[in-house]
Amino acid sequence: MEAETTDTIYIPTAGLYLEKTYQNPMTVAKGNLAGATIHIESADGYYSKDYVTTSIRLFVNDLLPGTYTITETVAPVGYIKSSQTYTVEIDANDCYTPMGSIPTYSFVNTAIVVRIIKEDMTTREALAGATIQIIPSNSSPYSITSTTEPYLLLNVSTGVTYTVKELVAPPGYLVPSDSFQITSSGTIQVLKISL
């Protein structure tokens, strides 16, 4: 009786790097960003996977020859989702690409930054000394005291309502109450409370 043998068939695959970076429009800060979901799907629908980014780029190494679409489906909290879409064509030669020449596909998110300014409605002069309460619909309220510089509200969440109430006005001014909502595109940039 002969011993049974098993042959292993190697199927070559190609790889690519996924990288998630951010930029803050209020500063020149840039860097890698964790918490985004990047989706890779083959044109024939056979391959469909989500990858969650970390603070370093991810290596995806199980792609067979074919056409793939790479998109960001979920942005990290406080960032606007990238509209970038990559269409990648992998052929059999790509399965033997040296590590140093593997392509990187990068998605850049812009931080959502809201500037809150207390100012005089007539002169547009910034006013210091107002006590302003910020109440996110998804967490606990907190208070700030206005200065002559804008207060930067960072890491805001899309779809969350932020109610802003002035609790104490500077001398000679009235106490208004306003609210705003950050849309899924992050379009709100400046909130001014004026009276």
Domain boundaries, the chain: 14-111, 114-194
Question: Each residue of 45-73: pLDDT tens digit?
Answer: 999 999 998 888 888 888 888 899 999 99
Q: Evaluate whether 14-111 and 114-194 have a shared fold.
A: yes
What is the model's pLDDT at position 195?
A: 46
Q: What is the pLDDT of residue 102?
A: 77
- What per-residue confidence (pLDDT) applies to 189? 43
- Three-state secondary structure along the chain? CCCCCCCCCCCCCEEEEEEEEEECCCCCCEEECCCCEEEEEECCCCCEEEEECCCCCEEEEEECCEEEEEEEEECCCCEECCCCEEEEEECHHHHHCCHHHCCEEEEEEEECCEEEEEECCCCCCECCCCEEEEEECCCCCEEEECCCCCEEECCCCCCCEEEEEEEECCCCCCCCEEEEECCCCCCCCEEEEEC
Give the pLDDT score at 39: 96
Residue-level pLDDT at 49: 95
Res. 43: pLDDT tops 60:
yes
Any bridge partners for residue 177, and if so which? Answer: 165
Looking at residue 68, its pLDDT comes to: 93
Q: pLDDT, tens digit, for every residue of 108-133?
A: 887 777 788 888 888 989 889 988 88
Greater model confidence, 165 or 100: 165
| 162 vs 148 pLDDT, higher one | 148
pLDDT in tens, 5-38: 677 666 667 778 888 887 665 555 567 788 889 9
Confidence at residue 112, expressed as pLDDT on a 0 to 100 scale: 76
Q: Which pTM value belongs to this model?
A: 0.67
Token pair 């109450």 in the structure block, residue: 177
Query: Mean of the pLDDT values across residues 42-47?
Result: 92
pLDDT tens digits for 73-93?
998 877 888 889 999 888 877
Give the CATH architecture of domain 14-111: Sandwich (2.60)
Residue 2 has a pLDDT of 67
Classify domain 114-194 by CATH number. Answer: 2.60.40.10
Position 11 scores a pLDDT of 67
